[in-house]
Structure 1
Amino acid sequence: MISKILSIVFGLIINLNIYCQENIDNSKCNLETIKNLRINKDSITDKLVMDFLFSMEKSCHNNVEWSEASNWTLYWLADIETQRFIKLLKSNRDKIDTQLIIDDFKQPVNDGIDLAGIHKKIADLNDNDEIVTKILDSIKSAAKGLGIDIK
């Protein structure tokens, strides 16, 4: 009797473990999305950018490697693919965590990032959308924290 109960419990544990492994969202915090962007830096597509943006979520900040790489990638995309980056953020605002992205712009992980240059590229789009305004404000805030004045 006890062996049957243990067999059933053991079977349930194994099945639950298999179910959980199959249903984990492997797209979140996936460094492959960043790697794919860098490998394809000369031919970036909307899909590559969206894969990256979809991979971002708050729990990823517990992973230092992901957190640093994703922050650098946000700034990099805003610099080299400004128009595409902003367009995709705006058109997918209901599908991605835009507040997380806005917050990430407040805290650049690398003080070598050209905050003034990126701010200018985004500002030059002359887009008054709320997301764009918040990103510009976040970059200004980050610059101010580093002693850089952005007008």
Structure 2
Amino acid sequence: MRYYSILLALLLSCGTTSQQQGSQPQTIVDSTSLESLSDLLGAPEQVDSISDTKEEAVKPQLKSDVKLDSSHCSIQTLVYVDQNFEDLSIKDINSFLKTFHLECNNNVEFSEWSNELLFKVLDTYTQTTINLLTTRQEYDLSAILDELENPIHDFLLNQLVEKVEQQNIEEPIANQVIQALNIAASKD
């Protein structure tokens, strides 16, 4: 993106300028030039044409513009969770947890990535994740517990067990999560 900005500035400085008496210079860049620049950079973004001195920045997709797909095995949801990890809402975590299902075991890409993200989400959003698991019945709990019992990546499981225990949630599901993590820790 940095190179894109530099090349755009260079392109704008090479554009034709015209000046009327007492007015500011105007840079005129045609859409063909911008398309060529976009092709040269291999930029996936759509570039809006720029006219006069107005620059319309390419806007990244806002978090609120994205509708999460909470269907089973949704790679789209994993991408979203991964890209917005530092700022996940309860709704985002809810959609993420809904994607788990035993049928996803046949999808290697989903299984590995979702397993890694599940541990990261549980570690970072411990209370929210446990609260969602204990208060909602719309998740495939057996699939989630199976993932927790079988981590694919190295993770500090004993610390995660302590973190979940510190939530002091006296619900059977919270205890099942702790048991699943203890099973995983015993496999190390």
TM-score by length of 2: 0.61
Maintained 8 Å contact 2:161/2:178: yes
Q: Which of 9, 28, 34 is residue 78 of structure 2 equivalent to?
A: 34
User: Which stretches of structure 1, 4 residues or longer, exceed 6 Å deviation after superposition?
Assistant: none
Q: How does 1:1-151 map to 2 (within 5 A)?
A: 27-92=71-136, 94-110=137-153, 112-146=154-188
CA distance, structure 2, for counterparts of residue 124 and residue 36 of structure 1 = 28
Amino acid at match of 1:105: L
CA distance, structure 1, for counterparts of residue 99 and residue 146 of structure 2 = 16
TM-score by length of 1: 0.75
Amino acid at match of 2:108: V
CA distance, structure 1, for counterparts of residue 104 and residue 143 of structure 2 = 11
Maintained 8 Å contact 2:70/2:96: no
Partner SS state of residue 86, structure 2:
coil
CA distance, structure 1, for counterparts of residue 131 and residue 122 of structure 2 = 11
Structure 1 unaligned runs (5+)? Answer: 1-24, 147-151
Larger Rg over CA atoms: 2
Q: 1:30 to 1:124 in 2, by over 3 A?
A: same
CA distance, structure 1, for counterparts of residue 135 and residue 119 of structure 2 = 19
Deviation, 1:55, is 1.3
Amino acid at match of 1:52: F
Q: 1:48 to 1:97 in 2, by over 3 A?
A: same
Deviation, 1:27, is 2.1
Task: Tell me the alpha carbon deviations over residues 99-131 of structure 1, each in whole angstroms, 9 at most, x when there is no partner.
Answer: 211121110001x21101111110001112111
Q: 1:130 to 1:107 in 2, by over 3 A?
A: same
The number of residues matched between the two structures is 120
* Most deviating of 78-87 and 94-103: 94-103
Superposed CA RMSD in Å reads 1.5
Q: 1:134 to 1:63 in 2, by over 3 A?
A: same
Structure 2 unaligned runs (5+)? Answer: 1-68
**Higher-RCO chain (CA-CA 8 Å, sequence separation at least 6):** 1
Deviation, 1:26, is 7.8
Maintained 8 Å contact 2:130/2:174: yes
CA distance, structure 2, for counterparts of residue 56 and residue 144 of structure 1 = 24
